[in-house]
């Protein structure tokens, strides 16, 4: 029941939860606001330590304590119902004043149900149990529960342990009498201080977010500048490559034109050769034809001469 916390811290925690019932019942939807409220509560709890814990450990202490009170109420109701059915008197385990207040804050008690406070004898018995539990807590904090000492700033003096236990017992007796103390009264804090501190936290968070946004904007601008420079250099390289390619294409076109011009000249020369060859062939054919004609005429004349000679011979005879 409320392990690893002292009576002053119990009172601070319950008073804070009374002011922030939504946090006590787990109804706060804004995670950032919940974390800020737990940070504030942690500061107030640690200033009344030891023990001193981070917010995550105090959350666990609160949830364990709340579950313990709820189980005690459920067990008492079940025992009362069983006793009524069997007509057997049941032994009540009443809630302490601080537990009763916690139960009302968390809504564990019905409006028509009232759990009795402790009697003086119960208080004395619980004070003795508290002393034993505080001793165990101190030993446990020193020996096994090292994470709880993350926030400790000074070691515990064993020579003053008994005096501290007596002071804590007196504090517990006084806390029962002044159960209506406002939150953080023990730590010299008020609701106005809490509100101002929460506003300061919100302002700091806003400044941090603005600073982070500016830094991210600066980084984004630098990245964009680098990208633009890289893109510009790449475009310049591509432009240079295209210019070189165009030069090569122009040189190729010029070479192709020269080759075409040379081929045209060769074609013209070949045509001229063909024409001259054709002319020579025609002249040769004409010459051959004339020679053939002359030979025929010569043969014809020779035949006529022979005929004349034969005729002359015949006349002589």
Tell me the C-alpha distance between 52 and 39, whole Å. Answer: 13
User: How confident is the model over 231-252, as pLDDT tens digits?
Assistant: 898 999 999 999 999 999 999 9
Of residues 210 and 3, more confidently modeled: 210
Q: Which residue has the higher pLDDT, 31 or 304?
A: 304
194 vs 155, higher pLDDT: 194
Of 166 and 69, more confident: 69
DSSP string, 135-146: HHHHHHHHHT-G
Q: Is the pTM of this model over 0.75?
A: no
- Give the percent of the chain with pLDDT over 90: 35
For residue range 113-124, list pLDDT tens digits in order. Answer: 444 434 343 444
15 pLDDT exceeds 80? yes
- Local structure of residue 306 (DSSP, 8 states): H
* pLDDT at 14 (0 to 100): 92
In the chain, what percentage of residues exceed pLDDT 70? 67
Highest averaged pLDDT of the listed ranges 36-40, 195-199, 203-207, 313-317: 36-40
């Amino acid at each position: 029941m409320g392990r690893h916390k002292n009576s002053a811290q119990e009172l601070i925690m319950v008073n804070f939860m009374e002011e922030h019932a939504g946090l006590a019942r787990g109804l706060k939807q804004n995670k950032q606001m919940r974390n800020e409220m737990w940070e504030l509560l942690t500061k107030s709890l640690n200033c009344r330590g030891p023990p001193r814990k981070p917010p995550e450990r105090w959350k666990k202490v609160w949830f364990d304590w709340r579950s313990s009170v709820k189980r005690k109420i459920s067990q008492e109701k079940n025992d009362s119902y069983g006793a009524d059915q069997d007509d057997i008197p049941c032994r009540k385990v009443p809630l302490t004043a601080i537990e009763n207040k916690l139960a009302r804050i968390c809504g564990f008690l019905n409006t028509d149900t009232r759990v009795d406070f402790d009697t003086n004898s119960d208080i004395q018995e619980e004070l003795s149990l508290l002393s034993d539990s505080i001793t165990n807590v101190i030993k446990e904090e020193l020996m096994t529960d090292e994470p709880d000492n993350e926030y400790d700033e000074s070691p515990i003096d064993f020579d003053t342990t008994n005096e501290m236990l007596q002071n804590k017992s007196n504090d517990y007796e006084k806390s029962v009498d002044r159960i209506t103390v406002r939150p953080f009264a023990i730590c010299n804090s008020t609701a106005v201080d809490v509100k101002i501190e929460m506003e300061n936290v919100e302002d700091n968070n806003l400044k941090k977010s603005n600073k982070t946004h500016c830094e991210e904007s600066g980084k984004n601008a630098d990245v964009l500048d680098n990208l633009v420079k890289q893109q510009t250099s790449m475009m310049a390289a591509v432009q240079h490559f295209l210019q070189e390619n165009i030069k090569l294409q122009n040189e190729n076109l010029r070479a192709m034109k020269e080759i075409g011009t040379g081929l045209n000249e060769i074609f013209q020369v070949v045509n001229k050769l063909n024409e001259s060859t054709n002319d020579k062939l025609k002249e040769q054919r004409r010459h051959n034809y004339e020679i053939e004609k002359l030979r025929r005429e010569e043969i014809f004349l020779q035949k006529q001469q022979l005929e004349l000679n034969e005729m002359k011979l015949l006349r002589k005879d």
